[in-house]
Structure 1
């Protein structure tokens, strides 16, 4: 396996069976040059990317340490989630992290408006994000804002197999935030983020949006729905407000049976 191009000390473009690939490994390019042979034991990751040229450009533009940190985080995420992330994360997360570290170094901190929602909806990814900001501080001495853990969580979540892209995930998360705010305002309550009823409600709303067009979604029988309307009148009224919000602002129509399930979660939250 010969080096075709050195991107940085830890990444090179190689020719493997006449196919161009990117090889990653600590010090893989140390004292190496074009056409030199790579020791296979030095290769930690080897892959072909659809966005090969864009990745090469990125690696030549950012500090080598930032790339190394990003790869540490990706490896940690894959180990903890037990799956392989989409190859685009090597570009998306690396580019994001490098810019975020530069901002933090200059004392510029961006507030993540969806922090509370991300922390609950993507808990595993958020925990990885928390590990990541500690790792960044350990490697660079730069203290990252906790909001950054949520940004990292989104990059990881949207790189999982069968996950929605970043734009769709952000839209869905923002809509859930609006739904939660409608419920809070209607009940005139404050909610602690570690409240189990709150977490269950938010998770249910996420799946509600995911299966809006799914004909196989669970159906509540009419008798149970009628009972809920009578027994939990106020909670059902709140669920109707949520449905009106979705229809008016986002063009999403919820079946009446789904309002029954949301009513149950609202009732639990109201009486927690």
Structure 2
């Protein structure tokens, strides 16, 4: 494994048997030169980007932002991987570092960007949000920058996006936004205020969340017997019509197509909310 480019003291672009890789380790690039052999004892993380343009983006980010910003982002990612016991999509090294660097500069100027999906993120991505809380304390300790809860939510979004191997954070935001919209549609249709701590709502939200992930990933949905489908459609017509409105809204506003089979399951969950209202 030879050094192809030194990005900073802790980050190298290397050639490993013809494959370009990013290598991260404390002081791994210190007093090194191109074509030197990498000290494997200092390697903490090795990853491969999906295409060459991502190496260029990563290099630009590493060289454009203060070293301490890059180090903080890398350590948050490392902590997240340990806590979630999963290897995150390497694109997070670009996305999260870029986001945090802008956020730090904004906050220094007193500019706070509101996260309108904060409560949905806190509820949907609970484990990732806990990592964001840890990151808030870590950032304060390392950089003496106090990030608001809105930024905890954005950190959680980036981590969840990378955990699920999505290429764009907008997908994760769409899921949170759609669930928020779904809740509003049900409340408006039934003229009620949903108890979001209730078992019936939590079950609906969980089912809907996984249904959306399947739709976005083009995975097969759960099948349902057509006779049972017709029974649910007719017996719980009010709940079914609400589910149809949600289906329409998702298509018109987000361009996602919810299969009709999902309507039966969602109708049953909505019916439980109706029964408990």
The TM-score range, normalised by the shorter chain, is 0.7 to 0.9
In 1: Cα distance, 2:3 partner to 2:263 partner: 60
Matches within 5 A, 1:120-135: 120-135=123-138
Are residue 144 (structure 1) and residue 142 (structure 2) matched? no
Aligned to 1:107: 110
Cα distance change, pair 5–246 in 1 and its aligned pair in 2 (3 A): closer
Cα distance change, pair 22–244 in 1 and its aligned pair in 2 (3 A): closer
Cα distance change, pair 54–258 in 1 and its aligned pair in 2 (3 A): closer
Are residue 267 (structure 1) and residue 271 (structure 2) matched? yes
Cα distance change, pair 39–156 in 1 and its aligned pair in 2 (3 A): same
In 1: Cα distance, 2:260 partner to 2:37 partner: 65
- RMSD of equivalent CA atoms: 3.0
Which of the numbers 90, 95, 110 marks the counterpart of 2:93? 90
Normalised TM-score (structure 2):
0.82
In 1: Cα distance, 2:91 partner to 2:108 partner: 26
Aligned to 1:154: 157
Structure 1 gap ranges (5+): none
Instruction: Find the residue that maps to 1:46 and give its secondary structure.
Output: strand
Are residue 46 (structure 1) and residue 46 (structure 2) matched? yes
Aligned pair count reads 271
Structure 2 gap ranges (5+): none
Cα distance change, pair 189–132 in 1 and its aligned pair in 2 (3 A): farther
Aligned to 2:30: 30
Aligned to 2:247: 243
In 1: Cα distance, 2:185 partner to 2:132 partner: 28
Report deviation, 1:55.
1.2
CA contact (8 A) 1:225 1:257 kept: no
TM-superposition CA deviations, 1:36-69 (whole Å, max 9, x none): 5543211212334332222112111111111111
CA contact (8 A) 1:246 1:253 kept: yes
Instruction: Find the residue that maps to 1:206 and give its secondary structure.
Output: helix
In 2: Cα distance, 1:161 partner to 1:248 partner: 25
Aligned to 1:219: 224
Report deviation, 1:146.
0.9
Instruction: Find the residue that maps to 1:159 and give its secondary structure.
Output: helix
Cα distance change, pair 29–197 in 1 and its aligned pair in 2 (3 A): same
CA contact (8 A) 2:222 2:261 kept: no
Are residue 6 (structure 1) and residue 6 (structure 2) matched? yes
Which of the numbers 66, 69, 92 marks the counterpart of 1:66? 69
Point out the more displaced range, 164-173 or 93-102.
164-173
Cα distance change, pair 240–161 in 1 and its aligned pair in 2 (3 A): closer
CA contact (8 A) 1:220 1:258 kept: no
Aligned to 1:76: 79
Matches within 5 A, 1:224-235: 226=231, 229-230=234-235, 232=236, 234-235=238-239
Report deviation, 1:3.
3.9
Are residue 116 (structure 1) and residue 141 (structure 2) matched? no
